[in-house]
Amino acid sequence: MSAVVESPAVAEQATGVRIRDVHKTFHRKRRPGRAALEGVSLDVEPGEFLCLLGPSGCGKSTLLSIIAGFTSADSGEVIVGGRAVTGPGHERGVLFQTPNLFPWLTTWQNVLYGPKARGVLTAEVREEAAELLETVGLADARDAYPHELSGGMRHRAAFARVLINHPGVLLMDEPFGALDAITRAGMQRFLLELWQKRRTTIVFVTHDVEEAALLGDRVCVLSAPPGGTKAVLDIGLPRPRSYDDTETLEFVQAKRRIREVLER
Ligand SMILES: Nc1ncnc2c1ncn2[C@@H]1O[C@H](COP(=O)(O)OP(=O)(O)OP(=O)(O)O)[C@@H](O)[C@H]1O
């Protein structure tokens, strides 16, 4: 992977996310509906890295899906970059636990898929795609198909595929949850460097207290199902962060604060 240039500035395209009193109930045949979210309100600042944490079933994925525009809320509103979300949009890049690459396309074709679909595939975009593949360490895997890539490589290809669209906000749903510990640590390091460089707004769903403390500026803890915001914690650890920080007293204290809220 190429060295990442540090920049304290918030990315020009980074956008804020405003979530106001969002409710969502899933209706089921011949059974009572299941409330997933009850009155979630939250502001994510432009350029902020926010982690969403909470017990299983508290509605983390549902909330992310509502921000992405894949699911509609029953009431309340989500505003991204000043505009109400009414459906999916390329200014919101979404990354899931399973990288959503097209298996019949090469890494290069996968990365260029978005610009091609939007009719903006210029020489400049191709040049940027080549640079992105360099950044994510996949320049040599440009002509490989997804099945020829390792788990970590597939994740990095999915990153490049999303980043080429210059999303103002990255929505990540437990993206490293299925990876082994070593690959996962590598991807967390990669994401920290990427965020340090681009300062894209990130909303990151995780189960893992340590991951939330390592990555997030703030951690929003959702309450037991159906979810509402239980607390929003400022992590307050200095940036840039690295894996070595996980051994500091401040880091251990940050984890303890998150755990206390989770267990409250
Ligand atoms: N499409 C759906 N149809 C019906 N119920 C759903 C649907 N999606 C989610 N739910 C329900 O909504 C609730 C919240 O689910 P969600 O996946 O958002 O929680 P989560 O916090 O992300 O859980 P986990 O941490 O286990 O992934 C759960 O009770 C789930 O069963």
Residue type, 221: V
Give residue-wise pLDDT tens across range 74-96.
999 999 999 999 999 988 999 98
Q: Where a domain ends, among 132, 165, 198?
A: 165
Q: Domains in the chain: how many in total? A: 2
179 lines ligand 1 (CB under 6 A): no
Task: Looking at the structure, tell me whether residues 5 and 136 fall in a common domain.
Answer: no
Strand partners, 173: 205
Task: Looking at the structure, tell me whether residues 87 and 184 fall in a common domain.
Answer: yes
Could you tell which of 24, 25, 34, 66 is best to mutate to test the pocket of ligand 1, judged by most ligand atoms within 8 Å of the CB? 34
Cα–Cα distance list, 70 to 61, 64, 87, 90, 94 (Å):
11, 9, 6, 12, 10
Could you tell which of 61, 176, 204, 221 is best to mutate to test the pocket of ligand 1, judged by most ligand atoms within 8 Å of the CB? 61
33 lines ligand 1 (CB under 6 A): no
Task: Looking at the structure, tell me whether residues 191 and 219 fall in a common domain.
Answer: yes
* Percentage of residues in the chain having pLDDT higher than 70: 95
59 lines ligand 1 (CB under 6 A): yes
62 lines ligand 1 (CB under 6 A): yes
Cα–Cα distance list, 49 to 30, 86, 211, 231 (Å):
41, 23, 12, 16
Interface predicted TM-score (ipTM): 0.97
Give residue-wise pLDDT tens across range 156-191.
999 999 999 989 999 999 998 888 888 888 889 989
Ligand 1: centre distance to CA 61 (Å)? 7
Residue 39 main-chain phi, psi, to 5 deg: 75, 50
The enclosing domain of 73 has a CATH number of 3.40.50.300
177 lines ligand 1 (CB under 6 A): no
Query: Is 13's pLDDT higher than 80?
Result: no
pTM of the model: 0.91
Task: Looking at the structure, tell me whether residues 138 and 151 fall in a common domain.
Answer: yes
Cα–Cα distance list, 95 to 76, 140, 157 (Å):
24, 23, 11
SS3 labels along the chain: CCCCCCCCCCCCCCCCEEEEEEEEEEEECCEEEEEEEEEEEEEECCCCEEEEECCCCCCHHHHHHHHHCCCCCCEEEEEECCEECCCCCCCEEEECCCCCCCCCCCHHHHHHHHHHHCCCCCHHHHHHHHHHHHHCCCHHHCCCCHHHCCHHHHHHHHHHHHHCCCCCEEEEECCCCCCCHHHHHHHHHHHHHHHHHHCCEEEEEECCHHHHHHHCCEEEEECCCCECEEEEEECCCCCCCCHHHHHCHHHHHHHHHHHHHHHC
Ligand 1: centre distance to CA 185 (Å)? 27
Q: Where a domain ends, among 142, 165, 188?
A: 165
Nearest CA to ligand 1 atom 17: 61
Which structural domain, as residue segments, surrounds residue 62? Answer: 1-91+168-264
Nearest CA to ligand 1 atom 12: 36
Task: Looking at the structure, tell me whether residues 139 and 182 fall in a common domain.
Answer: no
Could you tell which of 27, 58, 62, 98 is best to mutate to test the pocket of ligand 1, judged by most ligand atoms within 8 Å of the CB? 62
Task: Looking at the structure, tell me whether residues 3 and 66 fall in a common domain.
Answer: yes
Task: Looking at the structure, tell me whether residues 263 and 158 fall in a common domain.
Answer: no
102 lines ligand 1 (CB under 6 A): no
Long-range Cβ contacts of 260-263 (<8 Å, 24+ apart): 261/221, 261/230, 261/231, 261/233, 262/53, 262/54, 262/55, 262/209, 262/221
Q: Which numbered atom of ligand 1 lies nearest the CA of 64?
A: 18
Nearest CA to ligand 1 atom 9: 62
Give residue-wise pLDDT tens across range 225-253.
888 899 999 999 999 998 888 899 999 99
Strand partners, 62: none
Strand partners, 93: 170
